[in-house]
């Protein structure tokens, strides 16, 4: 399946139906009063999150989405029916922005339906204008128009741990060993072209989600390589795991790899550097099962948590998971205690 994480579409809620101007006309009732019904309300635009989707691909082929207009009122006090709603299912983690202003309209983090745009109100029929001073009103309402807007859907994957590294640092191999994810793995740069998610289940801990994003290179925050479009997917993570290839086959020296990752994350957004993080020294199977002593000492002076590992042989993975699991659990407990709410701002009906 093609991975799409950014689309621009046009949404329109339904127009309200016309009110009816009608008078009761029946045999033996010479002075029948007004009996025009009200028009129905237009359909709403409703957005619902789903865990069954991980891409916005469907919306590349549905650029215009419109709810149905309300039914027109009719004589004999018959009201028009409400227009059918237009429902959009988007992956969890989707941001909805106004395409013109960039205003954040909603952030979809759960499966509760959200009314993004209300349909127009139906027009009033002449029966509703009747009063003691106006026994035969001929007024009726045309119905309110629906709301139309160009919006941008932007997907930010919801994961607990983000794997960050240069191309071929071993991210895909690691996620394939600690979860059931099966990403494409090869020995050339940029094997990973789309983010991969894997669910890790560890002893004493239920589960947590790991995201493997395409390799970061110098200038990634400005769009170099596969660009900053993938850096957005680690913004929501609880913690980051920086992967540094310490084998002799690495194209870039280990410490230079580390500094590139730190610089690119900081340039993209300072908040990324404030997240809890650890460093994994990868591919120990290619260097005798031990990390170079000078690299290990230098990184331990900069980072509190450094784990020499080999995803190919499993060396050091248990210790790494024993750190990541409790870190995620502590964060979840803290956010539950403080009841952090990601509220969506929908357009209110006036």
User: Comparing 182 with 136, which gets the higher pLDDT?
Assistant: 136
For 257, the 3-state DSSP assignment is helix
Percentage helix, strand, coil, to 5, in the chain? 20, 25, 50
At 132, list the tokens. Answer: 């003691």
pTM over 0.75: no
Q: Between residues 15 and 176, which one has the greater pLDDT?
A: 15
* CATH homologous superfamily for the domain 161-338: P-loop containing nucleotide triphosphate hydrolases (3.40.50.300)
Domain residue spans in the chain? 1-155, 161-338
**Phi, psi (deg, nearest 5) at residue 177:** -85, -30
Which of 104-113, 152-161, 297-306, 332-341 has the highest mean predicted lDDT (pLDDT)? 297-306
CATH tag, 1-155:
2.70.210.12
For 187-191, 203-207, 341-345, which range has the lowest pLDDT when averaged over its residues? 341-345
Q: What angle do CA 336, 342, 345 make, to 5 degrees?
A: 155
Span 207-249, pLDDT tens digits: 788 888 776 766 554 554 444 556 777 787 889 999 999 998 8
* Per-residue model confidence as pLDDT tens digits over 292-329: 999 999 999 999 999 999 998 999 999 999 999 888 88
| Cα 245 from Cα 253, distance rounded (Å) | 8
Instruction: Look at 98-102, 171-175, 232-236 and tell me which has the smallest mean pLDDT.
Output: 232-236
Q: For helices 317-338 and 171-178, what crossing angle results, to 10°? A: 80
The reply to whether domains 1-155 and 161-338 share a CATH topology is no
Contact 163, 212 (CB under 8 A): yes
pLDDT digits (tens, 9 = 90+) for 65-90: 999 999 999 999 999 999 999 999 99
Burial class (CB in 10 A: 0-12, 13-18, 19+), 204: exposed
d(CA 171, CA 293): 22
Instruction: Please enumerate in sequence order all residues whose Cβ is within 8 A of that of 173, keeping only pairs 6 or more positions apart, or say none.
Output: 185, 311, 312
């Amino acid at each position: 399946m093609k991975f799409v994480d950014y689309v621009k579409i046009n949404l329109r809620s339904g127009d309200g139906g016309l009110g009816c101007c009608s008078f009761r006309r029946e045999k033996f009732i010479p002075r029948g009063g007004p009996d025009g019904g009200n028009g129905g309300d237009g359909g709403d635009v409703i957005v619902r999150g789903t865990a069954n989707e991980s891409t916005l691909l469907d919306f590349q082929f549905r650029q215009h989405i419109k709810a149905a207009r309300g039914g027109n009122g009719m004589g004999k006090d018959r009201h028009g029916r409400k227009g059918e709603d237009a429902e959009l299912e988007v992956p969890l983690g989707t941001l909805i922005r106004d395409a013109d202003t960039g205003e954040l309209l909603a952030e979809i983090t759960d499966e509760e339906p959200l009314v993004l745009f209300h349909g127009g109100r139906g027009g009033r029929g002449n029966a509703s204008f009747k009063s003691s001073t106006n026994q035969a009103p001929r007024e009726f309402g045309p119905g309110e128009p629906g709301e139309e807007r160009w919006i941008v859907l932007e997907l930010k994957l919801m994961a607990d741990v983000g794997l960050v590294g240069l191309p071929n640092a071993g991210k895909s191999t690691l996620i394939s060993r600690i979860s059931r994810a099966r990403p494409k793995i090869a020995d050339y740069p940029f094997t990973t072209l789309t983010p991969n998610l894997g669910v890790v289940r560890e002893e004493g801990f239920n589960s947590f989600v790991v995201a493997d994003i395409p390799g970061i290179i110098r200038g990634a925050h400005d769009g170099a390589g596969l660009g900053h479009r993938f850096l957005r997917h680690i913004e929501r993570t609880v913690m980051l795991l920086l992967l540094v290839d310490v084998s002799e086959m690495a194209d870039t020296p280990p410490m230079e790899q580390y500094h590139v990752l730190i610089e690119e994350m900081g340039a993209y957004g300072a908040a990324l550097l404030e997240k809890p993080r650890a460093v994994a020294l990868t591919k120990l199977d290619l260097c005798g099962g031990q990390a170079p002593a000078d690299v290990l000492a230098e990184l331990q002076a900069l980072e509190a948590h450094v784990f020499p590992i080999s995803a190919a042989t499993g060396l050091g993975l248990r210790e790494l998971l024993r750190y990541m699991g409790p870190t995620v659990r502590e964060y979840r407990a803290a956010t539950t205690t403080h009841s952090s709410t990601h509220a969506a701002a929908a357009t209110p009906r006036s």
